Amino acid sequence: MATNQAVTTSERGAMTEQITETIRAVVDKLDIPPTLHEPLFAGNERAYVLECIDTGWVSSVGSYVDRFEKMLAEFTGAAQAVAVVNGTAALQMALTICGVKPQDEVLVPSLTFVATANAVRYCGAVPHFVDVENRTLGLDACKLNAYLKDVACIEDGVTKNRRTGATIRAAVPMHTFGHPVDLDALAEVAGQWHLDVVEDAAESLGSYYKGRHTGTFGRMGALSFNGNKIVTTGGGGALLFKNPEDGKFAKHLTTTARVPHRWEYFHDMLGYNFRMPNLNAALGCAQLEQVNSFVERKRELAEEYLAAFANVPGVKIYREPVFARSNYWLNALILDEEYADQRDGVLAATNDGGVMTRPIWTPMHKLPMYAECPRMDMSVTESLEKRVINIPSSVSRRTK
């Protein structure tokens, strides 16, 4: 198939078929479910959850919450972890702790799940969209730096958007499909522009950048334990902290800001009801005990896809950058530019054939509620939008 010549209809049909067949061959070989991700409960899930019911501790106080937080801190190397109701709440709390105020701007990749931008909006702030790079599928620090030189200035140690006059307070890189962004490059840009970094590590539990766990580079990191994540609590999330003072503040904020007292109900600021219930934390403890084997299975599957697609023309399986050891949460197939028009054909053929696939998210700047938000050139985002297809990536294996 010559890439520089016009592609014929029959070539396209053949390509769709070859991609579909190759996905199916891997799914069958490893005997994974033909869905994007299904959780695996092969450890102490039943025992821990039953213990909650038998002891009556199912709600927002209980030993599994503490244990889950300790396990998370230990696994990631964070100074502290605080469990919350979901990843969106974790992001909202992180931004609140960074002091994000109404009308402030927060730098967010446009190519992300909508929660990243929504969390900014919940603070009354404005998402300011940044392009991504092909190498990581995440925030492009270099392009961001050049852009900020163009549109921003520093006044009294605070970065201002010269067009809107708003303070640009923080940046929220998101580790797409578990693949770490270039965190050293980002740290340098953030340092220059006095930006707090909150890592949206919702998809990257078990992913490392230069040997260190994602979510521990920024001031805070946000994890998600939704049912489609590598480790699930049913619904849940967590914050990772460098600074124990931030962690203490997060506990206060997420427990309605109630001031500890034997009996008085006094709240000293606007707080939130965001603590993870003990029942969900129990599930999380059992899951986290197995996370290393889950990551191994995900990486094993990625190797299979990489090998299977090595000789399929017009398409590549995304491979982690050299600085990363990724959890390969969701494997991504990326069509070459000239085959971008094949995306919907592949999506239809696979889904029609019982193998679940999906495109990457609609970029945030194309959603109606964010269409007017400030943003830079979005050429890489818009190119990837047309070419990325996620393919089955479960840790679990079907039993025949």
CB of 40 to its own copies, least distance (A): 8
214 binds its own copies, rule: CB under 8 A: no
CB of 344 to its own copies, least distance (A): 9
CB of 88 to its own copies, least distance (A): 4
279 binds its own copies, rule: CB under 8 A: yes
254 binds its own copies, rule: CB under 8 A: no
Which of 325, 359, 374, 382 touches its own copies (CB under 8 A)?
359
284 binds its own copies, rule: CB under 8 A: no
372 binds its own copies, rule: CB under 8 A: no
393 binds its own copies, rule: CB under 8 A: no
Q: Which is nearer to its own copies, 281 or 301 (CB)?
A: 281
Q: Which is nearer to its own copies, 86 or 327 (CB)?
A: 86
Residues 84, 255: Cα–Cα separation, whole Å:
10
Q: Which is nearer to its own copies, 124 or 191 (CB)?
A: 124
Residues 192, 186: Cα–Cα separation, whole Å:
10
> Which residue, among 38, 8, 46, has the nearest Cα to 279 in the 3D structure?
46
Q: Is the dihedral of CA 122, 128, 129, 133 positive or negative?
A: negative
Q: Which is nearer to its own copies, 143 or 375 (CB)?
A: 375
347 binds its own copies, rule: CB under 8 A: yes
Tokens for 86? Answer: 């979901």
Output the CA–CA distances (angstroms, integers) from residue 59 to 275, 278, 351, in the order listed: 9, 5, 39
Q: Which is nearer to its own copies, 81 or 89 (CB)?
A: 89
Which of 272, 309, 328, 339 touches its own copies (CB under 8 A)?
272
86 binds its own copies, rule: CB under 8 A: yes
Half-sphere exposure at residue 17, Cβ-oriented, CA atoms within 13 angstroms:
6
340 binds its own copies, rule: CB under 8 A: no
232 binds its own copies, rule: CB under 8 A: yes
187 binds its own copies, rule: CB under 8 A: no
> Which residue, among 110, 98, 127, has the nearest Cα to 196 in the 3D structure?
98
Which of 76, 95, 98, 113 touches its own copies (CB under 8 A)?
113
58 binds its own copies, rule: CB under 8 A: yes
Residues 25, 106: Cα–Cα separation, whole Å:
43
115 binds its own copies, rule: CB under 8 A: yes
> Which residue, among 39, 37, 371, 67, has the nearest Cα to 238 in the 3D structure?
67
Question: Reduced to 3 states, what is the DSSP secondary structure of residue 111?
Answer: coil
Which residues face 224 on adjacent strands?
A: 237
> Which residue, among 130, 121, 144, 114, has the nearest Cα to 360 in the 3D structure?
114
379 binds its own copies, rule: CB under 8 A: no
CB of 162 to its own copies, least distance (A): 26
- Cβ contact 333:389 at 8 Å: yes
For the chain, report the end-to-end CA distance as a whole number of angstroms.
38
Q: Which is nearer to its own copies, 111 or 376 (CB)?
A: 111
Binding mask 1-40 for its own copies (x = CB under 8 A): -------------------------------------xxx
49 binds its own copies, rule: CB under 8 A: yes
CB of 118 to its own copies, least distance (A): 6
Please identify which residue in the block is written with the tokens 């996620």.
Answer: 390
**In 274-355, alpha helices (H):** 278-288, 291-308, 343-352
* DSSP 8-class letter at 161: E
| Interhelix angle 141-151/183-192, nearest 10 degrees | 20
Residues 181, 141: Cα–Cα separation, whole Å:
9
Which residues face 196 on adjacent strands?
A: 170
150 binds its own copies, rule: CB under 8 A: no
DSSP string, 255-281: BTTBPP-SS---B-S---B-BPPHHHH
Q: Which is nearer to its own copies, 8 or 59 (CB)?
A: 59
Binding-site ranges for its own copies (CB under 8 A): 38-41, 45-46, 49-50, 52-54, 56-61, 85-89, 113-115, 118, 121-122, 124, 226-228, 232-235, 256, 258, 262-273, 275-280, 283, 347, 351, 357-362, 367-369, 396
